Structures are given as structure tokens and as C-alpha cells.
A and B are shown apart, each in its own frame.
Chain A
């Protein structure tokens, strides 16, 4: 029993770590798409955030300045997205893809030009990264029979972004479903004409949704380069923005299911690394098959073969005020 727990605990701890940027990015997508703006540019905004965080932490030596810069960089791209989608009523998918390509080019160019290390930022010293935080009362919790040590290993010793991400899930749920702002934001994604006829600006609310997405993507990017990693490297987000998009869809655009889905995807990822070439019940599952699960699941759910994921009704449609 003890041995089993000792095998499981690190996997579960890794799950929480891997899930953190996914949760932040998926919540980002939640705010944007609930306001009626499709966001396939999560990846690019995360990448910009990852670079800004690592670059700023390198120069200033402060991880918190890094986080601020990440939020700033990602928010700038979000502002661009909002300007294209809301003000100019451009194609939202095109804008998102443009931001992905642009961010890939910008971060690689500036990383090489500013730091001259082949597209990487210098390795951050320990005090310029997010440190692992000790769990308060860990020694007492560890005393609990059987589960004590498991709990300490799984939920203790993570970096600040991990706890922030998990705390943001109830915040997002409250904001979107229990406040006037949230009601109006969601209404923009379902029936913007109704919001407009109540005398409330659809454009402002959509800007708000997209900008909140920018802030969250920045945090996700900073997590990747300054909490999980210790430097920026070219294309380091490696498609996590799209996994977050998949999680958002599988979660049917709801905050708590976003958490569970991201945890499930995180667990898959953590397992895929550990089960490489290890037979389970006599079968060796290819790593690639496990990596493909989130994408396959998204396709299946969107197609309504098992349950059905229905996007916000007005998502992707620019709102034209009646005259």
C-alpha cells in the first residue's frame, strides 16, 4: 500500500503542475469566447507571455516583474485581437492565427537578438524563478495515517502559479455566473442584441472578455518559463494553447468542468511520460496515442457522438449595432 502510494503521489503532483498553464489558458478562452469572441490565439499569447516573463526576470532578477511583463505582453496581443475582432469586425479565427504566427516570429527574433544564445534566454537563477512553497502544517498533515504523506506530496511544494490557477477557478465561476458583469458578458456571447437593447455596450464587454483572456494567457506563459522551466526557448509552449482550447470545448465552456478536464489532460500527460514503453495489463500503449486523446475527445464531443459541446451561440460573429 505504502509503495503504491509512493508511486502514485509523484504522478498526481506532476498532474497539478502540468495542468496549471492549461487551466489558466482555458479560463482565458472561457472569458473571451463567453463574451462572443473566438480565441484560437491562446497559444501565441502564452508564448509572448513566456518570453516576456523570462526576459524580464533575467534582466531585473525579479520573477514578479517577469509575471507583470508577461501579463503586459499578452494583454497587448489581446488588445490587438479585440481591435481586429470588435472594432474592425474582422475574422476572429484569422486574427487568432495571425497572433500565433506573429508571436512565434517576434519571440524567436527578439530572444536571439537580445540574448545571443541561439533563441533561448539565459538560465534563470533560483531566486529569479517561482520557488516551491512549503505547505503550511505539512508535518501535522503527514501524521494522518495512509493519506497524510500522499496529501503532502501531491498538494504541497508547488509554486505560486499552481495555487493561483486553482484559486482562479472559483473566482471565474463566481464572476461569470454570480455577478452582473458575468451575466452581461455571457449574454454578449449568446444574444448581443439583447445586451445592446438594454443600453449596455457590447463592444466594451467584449473588449473586457478578450483582455481578461490576455491577462490569464500571460500568467500561463510566465508559469511555463519561470515556474516550470528556468528560461525561454523557441516555441516552448508547444501547442499547449490548443490543448487548452480543446479542454475548454470538452468542458463545454464552463469553469468547474474546465478544471476537471485540464486535470484529466494533465494526468494523461504525466502518465504518458511515465508509461513510456511500460506495458499496462500486457499492452504497451503508444505515448503518441495518449498524447492524441485530448484532440480526439474534442472532435468526438463537438460532433455530438458522446454528449455534445455547443459553443456560445454568438461566438465568432461580429456584432453590428442596429440603426
Chain B
């Protein structure tokens, strides 16, 4: 089985595109099984996600969530860790930034309190990620299971706090009071249409650049990748694996908190339950599809942002298909790019080998 590796372009472009096409084809079968026309569904999906400035704005808004989630999963992957906990880390991030906003939003100018809140959110997310990292590094418990459990613990904690402690007095719904300030929507800067896309989007782009510099352009990041791809070599080179693992999980958690920045500071202006909408899990698909590289993650984030927005429009245009239909596409993408990655890779490699 010592096939030659695929050419770079095939590995980075052709394979993800083929996997996406395969996922869409299988989804089309599901749509047919649901008694609907796949062509009409695809059209509704495309028009719903890119058909007007409003929908483009919404697509970019969701893509911001996906970018943060994808970067979070990707940087952990680079260190050989599978962080399934972005969902919980984002929730805790929302808690962190909401606490700062509730405490200081009336007494400090927006230019100070908003960055402070973002830092607090990142800090809470980082802590919620660092603990599973520490447990893996020092106590040997697997980060996959621990982060799954931390998601549920976070969910219980958030329900408790919002129902009993942080709820606005007199409000029936479990949510905090509105914050006085938030992140400005991009429409303030001339972005056309009406949509919640906000300053968290450029923040996500900056985060992607920062991840690229950190992981690919610094000695520290080199060490991180060594730990991820060859732990024995890392030991031999005197790299402290434990510290890299804890740090990678902390950064991952801080990035996941970006979902909270986008949703809570950028759109909701108050802390609510389940604001992540599953973006933390979608981050797995984004990172897999984006090959754990910031550029790939951003492109995949756009795709999944479009799916999230298009899915909502799809449910509206074709009432026979629920919003969850896009989960089928998403699950299949995870399956084909992640677990069944060998399905297309081997035949493709043979094809290229025969041509060469």
C-alpha cells in the first residue's frame, strides 16, 4: 500500500471538492426519499444563502461562527488533540463576556468595556478548554471523552445560572437584561442590506491570521506541530508535550469563545441559552474540510455558513424540509472528509500514479 502521495493541488482542492460533491449526491438521495426535488432544494439553498445582500450578510454572520469553531478544532488537531468541546467552551465564553457586560457596561465607555468583555470571554473559554487539556497531559484521561462531558457540564451550568442567577427580574425567559453596548454591525460601515453580520467577522479573519503565524511561523508553533505529528520526536527534541497540550486546548477554547462574541456581543446583546446553535460541532466538519489550515478553514466556514443560512431559507421555501436537512449534508461531509477519507484517496492516488 505504499502509494505515492497525491499531488498537492489534488490533496488540497480536488479531494475536498470531490468529498463535498459526494456528500451532496447522497443528500440528494435523502431529499428524494423525503419526496422532494433535489434541484429545487439546491436552488433554494443557493438563493437563500447568496441571493440578496441580506442573505449574503446572514451567510457571513453564520460563517463567522463556523470560522471561530473551525479554527478552534483545527489548532487542537494540529497538536494531535480532538476537541469536541467547542460547544461548551463557547457557552462558557458567553458567560465570561456577559458577566463583564452586566457589571461594567453602564460605567465604562464602549471602547473599553467591549474589548474587556471579549478578553473575559476568551479567558473563560480558554479555561474550559485548558482543564481537559491538563487532564490529558497530566492525568492521562482522553481529551475526547473529557470534552464531551464538559459540554454537558457547561450546559447544566448555563441553565442553572440563567434560570436562577443571571435572569432579568420579571422576565419569564431565561436570559439576562440587554447590554447597553455591543459590537457594531457591519452595516454601520456601509455593508449593504439588513443582517446581523458584525465586527466579529473581521475579528475572525484576524484570528485566522494569528493562528497561521503562531502555528506555522513561530518556533513554538513548530513544537506544537511536532507534538501533534510525532510525539516521540517531540520527546527526543526536549519539547514539553504537556505544556503544549494544555496551551493548545486553552487557545482552542479561547477561539471557540469567538462564537459567543459573534452571537452575544454582535447580535443578541444579551446572554441566552443555546446561542451556539451547534456551531461548535460544525467546527469539526469545518476543520476537516479545511484540512486544519486557516485558509482552508475560512473557505469551509463560508461553505457551512451558507449551509446554515441556506438551510433556514430552505425550511421556509420548502416547508416539507426542516432546517435539520442541512445536518445530513454536514454529517456526510464529516464522514467523507474525516472517517471515510481513504475511500477516494486510494483510487485517486492510483489514478495519478497510472498517469505519471
Does chain A have a CB within 8 A of B338? yes
Q: Are A113 and B34 closer than 8 Å at their CB atoms?
A: yes
Inside 8 A of A85's CB, which chain B residues have their CB?
A: 339
Q: Mark A190-220, 1 if CB is under 8 A from B, else 0.
A: 0000000000000000000000000000000
CB <8 Å contact, B322 and A109: yes
| A302-B342 CB under 8 A given contacts A94-B334, A97-B281, A97-B334 | no
Chain A hits for B150, CB < 8 A: 295, 299
Tell which of B139, B144, B331 touches A304, judged by Cβ atoms closer than 8 Å: B139
**A40 CB within 8 Å of chain B:** yes
- With contacts A90-B338, A292-B156 known, is A40 near B139, CB below 8 A? no
A242 to B141, CA, bound (A): 17
Q: Is the CB of B331 within 8 A of A90?
A: no
Surface stretch bound by B, among A15-23, A66-74, A99-107, A252-260: A99-107
Q: Is the CB of B144 within 8 A of A40?
A: yes
Q: Tell me if B271 is interfacial: C-beta within 8 Å of chain A.
A: no
- How many residues on B have C-beta within 8 angstroms of the other chain's C-beta atoms? 51
Chain A residues with Cβ under 8 A from B47's Cβ? none
Give min CB distance, B241 to chain A, whole Å. Answer: 17
Asked whether, in the complex, the Cβ of B284 is within 8 Å of the Cβ of A97, the reply is yes
Q: Judging by beta carbons under 8 Å apart, are A90 and B340 in contact?
A: yes
Q: Name the CB-closest residue of B to A83.
A: B340
**Interface residue tally on A, bucketed by range:** 35 or more
Pick out which of these stretches binds chain A: B112-120, B157-165, B201-209, B254-262.
B157-165
Chain A contacts with B in 104-128, Cβ cutoff 8 A:
104-106, 108-110, 112-114, 116, 119
Contact B145 A302 (CB under 8 A): yes
Interface membership of A141, Cβ < 8 A: no
Nearest residue, chain B, Cβ from A101 = B331
From A296, which residue of chain B is reached at the shortest CB distance?
A: B153
Which of A105, A112, A249 touches B327 (beta carbons < 8 Å)? A105
A302 touches B330 (CB 8 A): no
Question: Which residues on A sit within 8 Å (CB–CB) of B104?
Answer: none
B335 touching A302 by the CB < 8 A rule? no
Contact check: which of B35, B84, B149, B164 meets A93 at CB < 8 Å?
B84
Taken together as a complex, chains A and B put the C-alpha atoms of A110 and B332 apart, in Å, by 16
Given A105-B325, A298-B149, A91:B338 Cβ within 8 A: yes
Contact, CB under 8 Å: B325 / A84 = no
Q: Which of B135, B141, B160, B335 contacts A102 (CB 8 A)?
A: B335
Does A98 lie at the interface of the complex (its beta carbon under 8 Å from any beta carbon of B)? yes
B191 CB–A CB distance under 8 Å: no
Question: Which residue from B135, B321, B340 sits with its C-beta under 8 Å from A303?
Answer: B135
**A98-B339, A119-B322, A299-B146 known; A292+B327 contact, CB < 8 A:** no
Binds B, one of A132-140, A174-182, A283-291: A283-291
Please state if A110 and B33 are interface contacts (CB–CB under 8 Å).
Answer: yes
Please give, as numbers and ranges, the residues of chain A lying within 8 Å of B140 by CB-CB distance: 303-304
B148, B324, B340: the one within 8 Å of A104 (CB)? B324
Task: Name the A residues within 8 Å of B342 (CB-CB).
Answer: 88-90
Q: B335: nearest residue on chain A (CB-CB)?
A: A98
Can you list 13 contacts pairing A with B, beta carbon distance less than 8 Å? A84-B339, A94-B288, A100-B331, A101-B331, A104-B331, A109-B325, A112-B321, A242-B152, A288-B159, A292-B157, A298-B149, A304-B140, A304-B141
> Chain B: residues with CB nearer than 8 A to chain A?
30-31, 33-36, 82, 84, 135, 139-142, 144-146, 148-150, 152-153, 156-157, 159-160, 163-164, 281, 284-285, 288, 320-322, 324-332, 334-335, 338-343
Question: What are the 8 tightest A-B residue pairs by CB atom distance, in nearest-first order?
Answer: A105-B327, A102-B331, A113-B34, A95-B339, A108-B324, A101-B331, A302-B141, A94-B338
Given A98-B332, A295-B153, output 10 extra A-B contacts at Cβ < 8 Å. Answer: A83-B340, A84-B335, A101-B281, A110-B30, A110-B33, A119-B324, A239-B152, A302-B139, A303-B141, A304-B141
